[in-house]
Amino acid sequence: MIYTKSETGLHAIKDRHAVDITRAQRSALILFDGKRSLREVLDATASLGVTASDVEVLVASGLLLPSAAVPGAARLEGSAAVPQTAARPDDAAVPLSEEERVRRYRVAYPLATQLTAKLGLKGFTLNLAVESAQGFDGLVELLPRLRSALGDEGVRPLQAVLQGR
């Protein structure tokens, strides 16, 4: 996937305080020029800790747009090929927008770290797994491990956030 900066993204580069993004996200934003692929930018910024979820935040914030060279492309490279759908049974056919996925991740991530912190040293590796989760999909994939450590009742608040309830 190839991304290019939007007008807002260009403004964010010129004025560091125009938008609230991390240094690592800003570094990635600078590298997106409509020529470099997502993989190239992620490889170049790996030492800064930039992940696909950081790029998802930039896209959701309107700072990056899919390049015109790749018509109709709106998903990040490496994302699931099957579109993510709403988790409620009545909304099963409604795909989640990237904005909604980022919103849910932003709420779910701190909750997941709080839940694993309650486990103390026993939950250390699980806490590391939460911290290295790649965005919304990563947290969804961790739900079974979290459920086995915390139990059904313990993981219920996190599951509700991820499912949009």
- Residues 19-37 pLDDT 10s: 889 999 999 999 998 888 8
pLDDT > 60? residue 93: no
CA 69 to chain centroid: 24
Work out the average pLDDT over 46-63: 89
CB atoms within 10 A of CB 62: 14
Output the CA–CA distances (angstroms, integers) from residue 121 to 16, 39, 70, 118, 125, in the order listed.
39, 35, 46, 9, 8
The pTM of this model reads: 0.45
According to the model, what pLDDT value does residue 19 have?
Answer: 85
3-5 and 64-66 strand pairing? antiparallel
According to the model, what pLDDT value does residue 76 have?
Answer: 41
pLDDT > 80? residue 159: yes
